Amino acid sequence: MSFQFDRSKPIAIGADHAGFEYKTAIVAHLNKLGFQISDFGTYSPDSVDYPDFAHPTATSVENKETAFGILICGSANGVAITANKHKGIRAGLCWQKEVAELTRKHNNANILCIPARFVSLNVAIDIIDTFLNTPFEGGRHQARVNKISC
């Protein structure tokens, strides 16, 4: 498996208060790997509304300003629902690395959504590393992906 996202563009990341701690650690992990980050907040553990961070993250991916996105909230449902309102966004909720692998291989997901209240930080980082290193298989899956947009 090899990295297929455009490394010349930053990775977009956003989180609400439930994902703030993980976001901070994930940014450090990605920086260690040599990635640039566009951080769309939140910047503290104070209670906030997840759409305020999911929309700008998804917009940056939608506009091809960033290579892909990572969103983190308590269940990851809210950020996934919000991001998937954007044209061309395929946000997948992943709670284990095998799900992240299939989300990339079969769905060509361009935003990874992580449920901070249901996975450990180590699992979250494994999920991200798997997502990063799994290419889209194309082929029969491309025809399905082409049918996603309304």
Q: Which of 32, 31, 26, 4 is nearest to 13 (CA)?
A: 26
Task: Provide CB contacts within 8 A for 9, sequence distance 6+.
Answer: 36, 64, 65, 66, 67
**Catalytic center residues:** 73, 106
Looking at residue 111, the DSSP 8-state letter turns out to be E
Average pLDDT rounded to a whole number, residues 44-59? 97
User: Can you tell me the mean pLDDT for 47-57?
Assistant: 98
Rounded Cα gap, residues 73 and 92, in angstroms: 13
CATH of 11-146, one of 1.10.645.10, 3.40.50.720, 3.40.50.12780, 3.40.1400.10: 3.40.1400.10
Three-state SS for 118?
Answer: coil
Residue 14 pLDDT exceeds 90: yes
pLDDT computed for residue 4 by the predictor: 65
Q: Taking a C-beta distance cutoff of 8 angstroms, is the pair 54, 74 a contact?
A: no
pLDDT in tens, 67-112: 999 999 999 999 999 999 999 999 999 999 999 999 999 999 999 9
Asked if 86 and 62 count as a contact pair (C-beta separation under 8 A), the reply is yes
Confidence of residue 2 (pLDDT cuts 50, 70, 90): very low
When pLDDT is cut at 50, 70 and 90, the band that residue 7 belongs to is confident
Q: What is the pTM of this model?
A: 0.94
**Strands in 4-145 per DSSP E:** 11-15, 37-39, 69-73, 91-93, 111-115
